[in-house]
Structure 1
Amino acid sequence: MQLIKLSMQNSKLKWIYLAILSLVWGSSFILIKKSLIGLTPMQLGALRTLFAAFFLFLIGFRSMRTIKRNEWKWIVISGFLGTFIPAFLFAFAETEIDSGIASVLNSTTPLVTLILGVLLFSIRFNRNQLIGVIVGLIGCLALIWEGASVNPNQNYWYAVLVLCASVCYAMNVNIIKRYMQKISPMAIANGNFIVLVIPSIVVLYYSEFFDNKVINNPEVHTSLMYISILAVVGTGIAKVLFNKLVQMSSPVFATSVTYTIPIVALMWGLLDGEEFSFYQVIATGIIILGVYIANRKKERPIH
């Protein structure tokens, strides 16, 4: 009876977590864009990690005591795949493509999760999932193609960086679900960031951030305000919530937060003057349709 009650509670909570993460991460793309006004991609990625680490250590440093020695290798891998590498990939991507486009491309994460689950984690797939992957990839190509027409000054090869970030996220969520199910979400987040502090400091040092011209630049001060919000809310708090969501649901459901992220991100982008054509709306719909098809009720597995 207690297990049934717990299951029902998790069923309700996971939707609340999903809604909160949609709002938080949907707003992250415009914060990245604003932060890049005064910071380089390398500085943004490093500062985002360091600010989030400082915040998490303040609220949950002691939680790392619960991590066992043999679990640290997964903490390290998860930290780089789920936080460090994507932070820089998104920063570089948004130097060339709009924040709204980046958010839509990020919605491919559930499809990538499915593909990697089949290839690396021996997860069986069915006809719907195969069709969904194909439809989703067609939507991605259409979005990139139309985006190049609407904004010819943007380099859409940088869209590949967002897709690489999706691969990192997909790997991370499968690792959390399989190998870190018994570790508390707060411990996972703190463990991730304690590992990333030194690499981030090294990157920040060589990015010339400590040069007097940079530190005294008013645009940098404004960017630091945006990056602090991004780090504390969009990385620190969201990281803990997402780890919990993965544990209480499934990898595919957890990554489905990327379906609703573009809605929030595109609204911010339009308010900020970004262009988004009717055909890009159609391409976005194709991607979401592909994700929906891939997550419909399972048919008989074909592999």
Structure 2
Amino acid sequence: MKARDVSELLILAALWGGSFLFMRVAAPQFGPAALIELRVGLAAVLLLPVLAWRGRLAPLWRKAGPLLFVGVTNSALPFVLYAWAALSVTAGFASIVNATSPLFAALVAWVWLKDRLSPAAIVGLLVGLLGVMILVWGKASFRAGGSGWAVAACLAATLNYGIAANFTKRYLSGVDPMAIATGSQFYAALVLAPFAVWLWPQAMPAREAWIAVLLLAFACTGVAYVMYFRLIAHVGPARAIAVTFLIPVFGMLWGALLLDEAITVNMLSGCAVILAGTGLATGAIRLPRRPGVEQSRG
């Protein structure tokens, strides 16, 4: 990759890692539903003119049904779950759990689409599961004051990402990715609107919470999507997915620097093991071949 592409990859990871920080700041004052309605709604306001300028608005109504489903499973529901979890767990912790998304995508593809799992992918899933167990060790208590439900919410969010990825592959193949990104935010905003109105905070949130919302919507969602698809166009999806491995680094960094969150041994160990499993499941890391075994050629 060129230096410019590497820079964009790092900026994108910093933005997506920052989203967990901003949810941690804004969720206590806005509540999950109102916060995420603002996130996806304002992101749609930013992305719609970009899509219109490119002359590609047609898929938004031609593929309304599939885009609605993706909007719910890839934005509305997982974003709300992460925002709710942010009331109990740190930004760094949530960003590490987010790295399991490719593992869930592989698992859903195997169960739903009957995709064959390679030996490396199977090992990756098992390694990733071990990483999650290390990460949540001592946290997954469902008693009063425990973080068990918040951990479950984070995992449910990543499961939704896996469902959305496979649904997109099956029903939105060939649709402009930018139209998918824009449509998913637009339909997510429509779905969440009544809940946001019903659960809108009674007290006006503080200025720092509003700043967090604006950065979450415009930078971490709107601008980040534009950068991501620009990166895919320049270096291809296989290299662009490397951002998955960098998000937890920035999630922990921002949490430690700006919110004084602790980075524990469990977090570092769990993160390393989860990323190793993700690398194996996605093919970014390959198992060593047995010596003396060569691939036959026809």
Q: How big is the alpha-carbon RMSD for the aligned residues of Structure 1 and Structure 2?
A: 2.9
- Corresponding position: 1:191 with 2:187: no
Equivalent pair of 1:97/1:156 in contact (CA under 8 Å)? no
- Tell me the equivalent position of 2:154: 162
| Counterpart amino acid of residue 38 in structure 1 | Q
- Tell me the equivalent position of 2:264: 277
TM-score (norm 2): 0.82
- Tell me the equivalent position of 1:41: 32
| Counterpart amino acid of residue 14 in structure 2 | L
Give the CA deviation at 1:19: 3.4
Which whole-Å deviations, capped at 9, do the CAs of 1:184-238 have from their partners, x for residues lacking one? 23322332233233323212210133x4xx23x5x2x321111111001111222
Give the CA deviation at 1:12: 9.5
- Corresponding position: 1:232 with 2:218: yes
Q: Percent identity?
A: 24
- Corresponding position: 1:288 with 2:262: no
Equivalent pair of 2:76/2:191 in contact (CA under 8 Å)? no
- Residue number among 99, 107, 111 corresponding to 2:99 in the alignment: 107
Q: How does 1:1-303 map to 2 (within 5 A)?
A: 18-61=9-52, 63-67=55-59, 71-147=63-139, 154-209=146-201, 211=202, 214-215=203-204, 217=205, 219=206, 221-242=207-228, 249=236, 255-271=241-257, 272-294=259-281, 295=283, 296-297=285-286
Distance 1:125 1:43 in 2: 39
Give the CA deviation at 1:110: 1.1
* Structure ranking higher in helix proportion: 1
Deviates more, 1:66-75 or 1:22-31: 66-75
Distance 1:51 1:88 in 2: 15
Distance 1:12 1:124 in 2: 36
Structure 1 residue runs of 5 or longer lacking an equivalent are 1-8
Number of residue pairs aligned between Structure 1 and Structure 2: 282
Task: Rate the CA distance shift 1:297–1:155 in 2: closer, same or farther, 3 A.
Answer: closer
Structure 2 residue runs of 5 or longer lacking an equivalent are 290-294
Task: Rate the CA distance shift 1:278–1:193 in 2: closer, same or farther, 3 A.
Answer: closer
Distance 1:208 1:283 in 2: 36
| Counterpart amino acid of residue 265 in structure 1 | G
